[in-house]
Amino acid sequence: MENIANEVKIDAVPSKVYDALSTEEGYRGWWTKDCDVDPRPGGEAEFRFNEGQVAMRFRFDALDPESGVRMTCIGHKNNDEWQGTKLRFDLAPQDGGTHVRFRHDGWDRKSDCYEQCVQGWAHFMTSLKGYVETGTGAPF
């Protein structure tokens, strides 16, 4: 199995970062403007790209303001390599801000899609930082 990992320090308290990772408004601010989010354990979220041509549906496995967010991809449209993969955003207080450890686990192999996601997640972690710190991210 292959994994994607990224870390970022955000100059904001963990609760503010958590809001960006657990609300529809938050995801629209840093990941994709086209999404529906039901932020509760067992709730689902769908994130759409390219005018709905690509979509991933996730189940929230854990939502904890103290430690972070975990979810599993349970459905997709035109993105079968994401099926069954897991997203994990671990939050920890650090020097008045928040250290975010991100992982996208469960890739079968290093494919073109995987490599695009490595680059994509680097962009979106920077977008998350910008959104939380300034109110302006760079969502798709």
In a domain, 45, yes or no: yes
Report pLDDT digits (tens) over 22-76.
Answer: 999 999 999 999 999 999 999 999 999 999 999 999 999 999 998 999 999 999 9
E strands, 11-85, in order: 34-37, 44-49, 54-64, 68-77
CATH code of residue 108:
3.30.530.20
What residue numbers bound the domain in which 105 lies?
2-134
Report pLDDT digits (tens) over 83-97.
Answer: 999 999 999 999 999
Q: What's the rounded Cα separation, in Å, for the pair 129 and 98?
A: 10
Q: What's the rounded Cα separation, in Å, for the pair 69 and 63?
A: 5
In a domain, 140, yes or no: no
In a domain, 99, yes or no: yes
Report pLDDT digits (tens) over 97-114.
Answer: 999 999 999 999 999 999
In a domain, 139, yes or no: no
Tell me how many domains the chain contains.
1
Is-above-0.85 flag for pTM? yes
